[in-house]
Structure 1
Amino acid sequence: MDPACFLPSHQFRGSALGLDMYKPPAKTGRTEQQQPKAVEPTRIITDPVTGRAYSKGRLLGKGGFARCYEMTDLSSSQTYAVKVIPHSRVAKPHQREKIINEIELHKDLHHKHIVKFSHHFEDLENIYIFLEHCSRKSLAHIWKSRHTLLEPEVRYYLKQIISALKYLHLKNILHRDLKLGNFFINENMELKVGDFGLAARQEPTDQRKKTICGTPNYLAPEVLLRQGHGPESDVWSLGCVMYTLLCGNPPFETSDLKETYKCIKHVTYTLPVFLSIPAKNLLMGILKRNPEDRLTLEEILHHEFFTKGYIPDKLPPSSCVMVPELNPPNPAKSLFVKVTKTLFGKRKSKVKKPPSEERDEISKLVTGLVKTSICRQLSHKTVEGNEVTPLCGQSPSSSPAETVAEEGSRKSVSRSIRGTTTSTSEVFEDCVTASAVIESAVGLLKNCLSTMPPAERNPASLACHEHFIWVSKWVDYSNKYGFGYQLSNRSIGVLFNDGTHMTLSANWKKVHYNLTNSKHFSFPASAVPEQLQEQMGVLQYFASYMEQHLMKGGDLPSIDEAGHLPLLLLQWVKTDQALLMLFSSGTFQVNFYNDHTKIIFSKPDHSCLLTYINRDRNSYTYKLSSIAELGCSPELQYRLKYILKLLLERADS
């Protein structure tokens, strides 16, 4: 009997239990009171046969048939992910048969990249299935935070999925529901394939199961056409997973389900231009209408996408929410290093322009890397590029402001730019430095936190105040080029990895270039010196993408550009919790990753203002002196203490 045959042909489910583990309930138009209520298990669960007791913890996910809880064995302190299925939900024989099928199949699987089945039991109310607990949730959560992954990350995860699939197929088992939500990540960033609610034994071709089951965006054409399931159907779903991770959405996804099915049946999809050639070729080799024409799992592993591409041995946990800093071999061969040498080499005048083919390659590289990796703050995305290539002698952890070009090279570029007829040059006296901004901020925060009384809420927000410039969008691409940002006055800036800074005015007509904090040049955007064309290209790509695709990070109003001199980003620092940006105006801003709150310190009238942008992107501005006098909410106080700690660490470094 097909485990999914009780479903009507138009219905699809991610598992026999109607559950994506670790997945929060979907929002619908129905109120919580209207939702059918499952019987909540008691706080302590006892196996009626062994007498072993378990403490029920937090809810990990829920679906139509089951809920998944974190549970701890009280005698051994072992933690499990436990599916809890009320008997009332599986009262019909075929429903119970599906659960028995899942248990019998899963408990016989033993592989490094498959979620481990521990044991199961039932009491008067529920059936309990104890599974390996994966603390970092699933690829679906990572995708939700990142939207797109780098090619090395995709290779890392796909290699583990393929390892599990080869094992399953050798045991004549088809998963039949491969999707991001069924790939779980443990504490060590190892992937585990899970949820075998739709899995089935492989049958001879003429006896293959023809029931449509799975997740619509990942269904193979032969499944939709009721031609039966085979291992090739799992390979198809694997291709859809690869596409989704690289491109940000499933290949056949549309707003209309019937149109999606039509696209799948005719294999109609688009390969974005930013994908690498090996990635495109691999996807085209997998997403073939005829199952026999698709690459096998072994052929996929031997494809140049894997054999000629960098695969990390391990990914850092931070990659769950932000782009990781990777260290592929031979970083000195990077194209960007070649560009940097061309721009800032000591013998610039003797260096020939790169051939047109190489210039085209550089242009395509920049286009592709930016499009695949740009961040959108509201969807938790941050960017650091495709494959990390630190500049000469630069450690991955050092910030761009700490990396400076060789003095001789700077002087050479300075003389070259001065020689152009379109540029103007200015030298600023008494320039603000990052250390000065940090020193001032530390003093203000220490004084505020030491004097403020306890309070449960923030003081009244200022109804009207002078507007200030802040960062509304940002792009961290420092492992190849630099850190880009859009200001509230709509100008765009990039602090490059060599310590130079370039700004594009809001109307895209004027460019400001700073060799140092004090040496400034400006020229029309149409007449950028040849020496800076490559940097200008990177800046324009950043600007175009942020303008077209990124959402503003708060409700503060935009302001007109004032004056002809740009606001300089002096230094930026990323921690595992927040991003700190220090500016030449003395303003500094801290963006917190987990809830997208932001705090901005500014001095528009020489009395420090603190602006707090909450998770709903609503902004509130207070005088810092008012907070010191009246106190603030525990939530804001926690952030202020964290910022002070962060600044003190920077001051000591």
Structure 2
Amino acid sequence: MALLRTLSHQPVTSKNMSERPKAADLRSKKAEHHTHGPQELSRIVTDFKTGRCYCRGKLLGKGGFAKCYEFSDLVTGKVYAAKIIPHTRVSKPHQRAKIDKEIELHRALHHKHIVHFYHHFEDKDHIYILLEYCSRRSLAHILKARKVLTEPEVRYYLRQIVAGLKYLHEQEILHRDLKLGNFFITELMELKLGDFGLAAKLEPVESRRRTICGTPNYLPPEVLNKQGHGRESDVWALGCVMYTMLLGRPPFETTNLKETYRCIREARYTLPSTLSTPAQDLISGMLARNPQQRPLLDSILSHDFFTQGFTPARLSISCCVSSPNFQRSPRQSFFRKAAAAIFGGKRDKEKYYHTLKLSKEEDIHRLQNDLKRITIGTPPVTDTATGVRHSAPPRPPPTPPPPHEVRDSIHMIVRGALGTSCNSSEGVEDGTMASVVDGVARVLRDCLENMPEAESIPKKKVGSTFLWVTKWVDYSNKYGFGYQLSDHTVGVLFNNGTHMSLLPDRKTVHYSAELGNCCVLSSKEAKEPFLGQVTILEYFAHYMEENLMDGGNLSKVTDVSKPCLYLLQWLKSDRALMMLFNNGTFQVNFYHDHTKIILCCEAQEYLLSYINEERVSTTVRLSALINNGCSAHLRERMHYAYNMLMQLCT
């Protein structure tokens, strides 16, 4: 029975579908392993192409072809999860092709809920794949310690799984082996999808391969019937995952693999009455026998199971071994703290609680959804009847006007600046702030005036470590403008003209009321008059971390020695968002095609980065643009960015 349970959780292909290995076969394989086993792993492993050396640590896990170890870079100290495959296990061409395909596919994936691929190399004995290290191991380990999970925890994990899976499906990639052991948990209890050994590009129905692959307990009927994998197959596996988390066992597990496959083909399983009605309904939908009847990923998140139940913003690390207590939800406590900080008097606090209706758990979700109605990447529209700003519906990008006509076409919507109130129509009065604007404008103008015409961006690219905005949220109708930098610093330029930054350690806060004036606070020990703003700052950080995706593939910066960077001014038109920082970094995000321009000064040299529609970035020296020119597509955006910058002086 123990052997069957182990086998039912291992990936299978059409070549290893037998119900139970024979004892003689097991003895033969064991003897073969001892006789022809792979070269023993060294404690110190060197990548001879880069010269980097790594120290092999503890074993993290093992699969059919590979073992996974903790790897530490001996120079930087950075820790990786290293997937190590002996050459002897991939000696046949089709085996090596499988590993190469996994590497090619995984290295192109970039999402907060996908295990990050860093690097791969090989020596004469092994292939090494360096991946993001997830110190809390996997959901399988958590469930082994916990036996079952609570519904709020299941919602917490499923939201992240769906986010990662949606990204994969948008890339036309099927995972094909979704199970608890392939959901890895970071130090901060964030979930990451991993193990892309069975992943494949989505093919048209008539061209799909009929190979049976995956983990037996999670295989959908259409795969067992050799009809091929589709997006619906991953949804089926997601239903099995949800069932397993709530009940501690897969829905189709039996003592006989053949019986398990029969139950899967008939979609025959039990739903205990201990499950809530929304949970039963969602599982039933995902485990529909007909693939076309299973819900889409967006429909899953809008199901009653999610909308009518509490989802924690974070889970404590204690949840790895013990059940959490949600009687008083962290989010409810969070907003009570915010109310106490922002409203001093008892009557005001009672009025605030009454307005938010925090006494009922389901009403907290109304407040939780409040940020979802704000502007994220699109210009706001004001409802003249209610005075409430909301996001405009998507529309096709306008035809770009000639550069000399751009400034006249800019329709300003809203703006904010350090030291002034949001939506002020006044120009820049502070001499120091004006010098930042003038300096950036002069550099950009000189480039545009001297740059020749060309068909493309210069081919010579440069590396960079500057900070840029990866996520942003306009909540200026209530609090202010929030953003996240590429080092995970979160900043808010409040409507009262002050600025706060929450550093990546999530403990240190930088507060600025004017350019060049910055004080340091502790988020845990903040007192009046800062407590209310710190609370709102933390809410912005939680929201962007949970709901927004990074805006491009520029490298992330983790150098904590860099000086404090904070937003000086922001301005929105009907076409783009402009952000200017205290060090002169200037970024413009165009809404409709999601392109971005970032101008910065690094090592006494100006660099320009352009992120195109495919979220691929190119960084060049501004001097190279002046000498060689760029495409009309980029030139037009630079003209628009320059004229937006000039609006700050009007």
The normalised TM-score by structure 2 is: 0.47
The normalised TM-score by structure 1 is: 0.47
